[in-house]
C-alpha cells in the first residue's frame, strides 16, 4: 500500500507538470498566435496565481512544515482562478466545440479541478503532513521535489558560485510567499471591489 501511495503521489506531481505548466504554456502561445484576447488574459491571470504552486515546491525543498498545505491551497485557487472571470466565461461560451483553441481551454480548466481534488484527497490521507512535513510518514511528499532541488542546486552554483541548501530554499520560499500574499491582498482589497469578476480582456494589450 505504501508503494501504491508513493506511486500515486509521484504521478500527481508528474501530471501537475503537464496540466499546471505544459498545457497552459502551450495555450498561452496558441492564444497569442490566434489573437484570442480572452484566453490570453485568462492565462496571464493564471500565471500570476500559479506562482504560489512553484513557491510551495521551493518550500517543500526547504522542508517547511506547512509546504504541503500551501501546495493544496495553490492548486485550489488556480482551479478557481480559471473559472472566476464572468466576461471570459461568457466569451468562451460563444464558441462551438469545433473551435480547437476554446475547446482545449475548456478541457484544461476541468483538468485543473481534477488535479486540485487529487492533491487534496491524497493529502487528507496524510493529514498530519499539513503541519509537520518533516515527520517520517511525510517523506513521500518530499521525494517528488528532489529533482527540482538538483536542478536549482546546479543552477544556483552556476549563476552565483555558491551552494543551494535546504535552508536557502526555505528562506527564498518564505520571502516569495510574503511578496505573493501582499500582492494578493492588494488585489483583493483595492482592485477586486472596483472591477469585480470582470477581467477587462477587451482592453487587454492596449496602451
> Can you tell me the distance from the alpha carbon of 123 to that of 130, in angstroms, rounded to the nearest whole number?
8
Question: Rounded mean pLDDT of 175-203?
Answer: 92
pLDDT band per the 50, 70, 90 thresholds, residue 1:
very low
The sign of the dihedral angle between the CA atoms of 196, 199, 203, 207 is positive
Give residue 164's pLDDT: 74
Per-residue burial over 172-194, b if 16 or more Cβ lie within 10 Å, else e, is bbeebbeebeeeeeeeeeeeeee
Q: Contact 75/60 with Cβ under 8 angstroms?
A: no
Three cell numbers at 149? 532541488
Strands (E), the chain: none
Give residue 181's pLDDT: 97
> Can you tell me the distance from the alpha carbon of 122 to that of 111, in angstroms, rounded to the nearest whole number?
17
> Can you tell me the distance from the alpha carbon of 204 to that of 95, in angstroms, rounded to the nearest whole number?
20
> Can you tell me the distance from the alpha carbon of 135 to that of 188, in angstroms, rounded to the nearest whole number?
35
Length of the chain: 207
Q: How far is CA 178 from the centre of its chain?
A: 16
Structural domain boundaries of the chain?
Answer: 2-203
pLDDT tens-digit readout, 133-182: 888 788 888 877 776 777 777 777 666 666 778 888 899 999 999 999 99
Identify which of 96, 80, 64 has the alpha carbon closest to the alpha carbon of residue 168: 64
> Can you tell me the distance from the alpha carbon of 13 to that of 110, in angstroms, rounded to the nearest whole number?
17
Q: Contact 42/48 with Cβ under 8 angstroms?
A: no
pLDDT tens-digit readout, 81-117: 999 999 999 999 998 888 899 999 999 999 999 888 8
pTM: 0.89
Question: Rounded mean pLDDT of 121-135?
Answer: 86
pLDDT tens-digit readout, 28-83: 999 999 999 999 999 999 999 999 999 998 999 889 999 999 999 999 999 999 99
Amino acid at each position: 500500500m505504501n508503494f501504491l501511495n508513493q506511486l500515486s503521489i509521484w504521478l500527481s506531481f508528474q501530471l501537475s507538470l503537464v496540466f499546471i505548466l505544459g498545457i497552459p504554456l502551450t495555450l498561452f502561445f496558441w492564444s497569442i498566435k490566434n489573437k484570442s484576447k480572452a484566453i490570453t488574459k485568462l492565462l496571464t491571470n493564471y500565471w500570476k496565481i500559479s506562482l504560489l504552486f512553484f513557491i510551495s515546491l521551493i518550500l517543500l525543498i526547504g522542508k517547511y512544515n506547512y509546504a504541503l498545505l500551501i501546495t493544496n491551497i495553490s492548486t485550489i485557487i488556480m482551479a478557481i482562478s480559471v473559472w472566476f472571470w464572468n466576461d471570459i466565461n461568457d466569451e468562451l461560451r460563444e464558441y462551438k466545440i469545433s473551435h480547437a483553441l476554446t475547446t482545449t481551454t475548456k478541457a484544461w480548466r476541468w483538468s485543473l479541478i481534477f488535479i486540485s481534488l487529487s492533491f487534496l484527497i491524497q493529502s487528507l490521507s496524510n493529514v498530519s503532513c499539513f503541519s509537520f512535513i518533516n515527520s517520517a510518514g511525510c517523506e513521500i511528499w518530499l521525494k517528488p521535489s528532489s529533482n527540482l532541488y538538483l536542478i536549482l542546486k546546479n543552477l544556483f552554483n552556476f549563476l552565483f558560485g555558491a551552494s543551494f541548501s535546504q535552508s536557502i530554499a526555505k528562506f527564498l520560499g518564505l520571502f516569495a510567499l510574503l511578496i505573493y500574499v501582499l500582492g494578493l491582498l492588494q488585489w483583493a482589497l483595492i482592485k477586486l471591489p472596483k472591477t469585480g469578476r470582470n477581467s477587462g480582456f477587451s482592453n487587454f494589450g492596449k496602451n
